Structure 1
Amino acid sequence: MRISEATGDDVAGLARLLWLNSSDEQLEQQAIDAFTADFGKWWAAREDMHVAYVARLDQPEIVGMAWVALVPRVPRPGATSRMSADIQSVFVMPDARGRGIGSALVKAASEHAMGAGALHVTVHSGRKAVPVYERLGFESSRQLLQRHRP
């Protein structure tokens, strides 16, 4: 398994994983091509605040991804460059699961966030993945609240 920071050359592979993680199996090729183009533009405009990590096995194809969104925080006296981070869109292809790929991706994304100066890293997880995040050192917090759209 190889974990690396994604580059512009990975746009199509990342778009494919995002597509597979959010759509049914009967996808139209034209629709995924359009999404790939839109996604490439979106990421190019946000590269400084959205970093992706990818996993590969023996082949060049990407089998997993994890994103970290870096969010500048309001400065405080003595701390003018505060940052927080959020892990997003973690996905591993079903046939590659159970090998620690997701955990390795989340670790790489979290380490990147801390290296960029994030004070904390959050994740909004599905129920099944909560134990995985807890094993990686994430904890529930009563101070982190959410407000949902009405």
Structure 2
Amino acid sequence: MRISEANADDIAELARLLWLNSDDGELVQQSVDAFAAELEEWWAACAASHVAYVARLDGPELVGMAWVALIARPPRPGMTSRMSADIQSVFVTPDVRGQGIGAALIQAASDHAVRLGALRVTVHSGTKAVPLYERLGFESSRQLLQR
């Protein structure tokens, strides 16, 4: 397994994974190629705030992804550069699940955020993935609320 930061050459494969990870209701009447074109535009606009990590096995095809959104926070006295991060859109193709790929992707994305100075890394997880995130050091927090 190879984990690496995604680049523009990975957009078509990322689009395929995002497509596979979508609920049927989200697929509308759009082809994967049309979605890839939209993703390419989004990628260019959001490159400073979003990074994707990807997993490959033996070939060039992606078998997994994990995105991290970097969020600038207002400065505080003595801390002019504050950042948080959010893990998003983690997906591993069903045929290779259970091999540690998801954990490796989440770890790579989290490590990236921490290297850049994120004070915290959050995730909004599906129920099935909660034990995985807990094994990786994520904990529930009474202070993290959502509306």
| TM-score (ref. length: structure 1) | 0.93
2:122 paired residue number = 122
Structure 1 residues 37, 75: CA separation in 2 closer, same or farther (over 3 Å shift)?
same
**1:109 alignment partner AA:** A
Q: Deviations over 1:92-148 (max 9, x none)?
A: 00001000000000000000000010000000000000000000000000000000x
1:43 paired residue number = 43
CA distance in structure 1 between the partners assigned to 2:31 and 2:131 by the alignment: 35
| TM-score (ref. length: structure 2) | 0.95
2:101 paired residue number = 101
Is there any run of 5+ residues in structure 2 with no aligned partner, and where?
A: none
1:78 paired residue number = 78
**Secondary structure in 1 aligned to 2:46?**
coil
CA distance in structure 2 between the partners assigned to 1:22 and 1:140 by the alignment: 26
1:29 CA displacement:
9.8
CA distance in structure 1 between the partners assigned to 2:49 and 2:39 by the alignment: 15
1:51-66 paired onto structure 2 within 5 Å? 51-66=51-66
Identity among equivalent pairs (%) = 75
1:30 CA displacement:
6.2
CA distance in structure 2 between the partners assigned to 1:28 and 1:76 by the alignment: 44
1:31 CA displacement:
1.5
1:12 paired residue number = 12
**Number of residues of Structure 1 aligned to a counterpart in Structure 2:** 145
1:28 CA displacement:
9.6
List structure 1 runs of 4+ shifted beyond 4 angstroms. 27-30
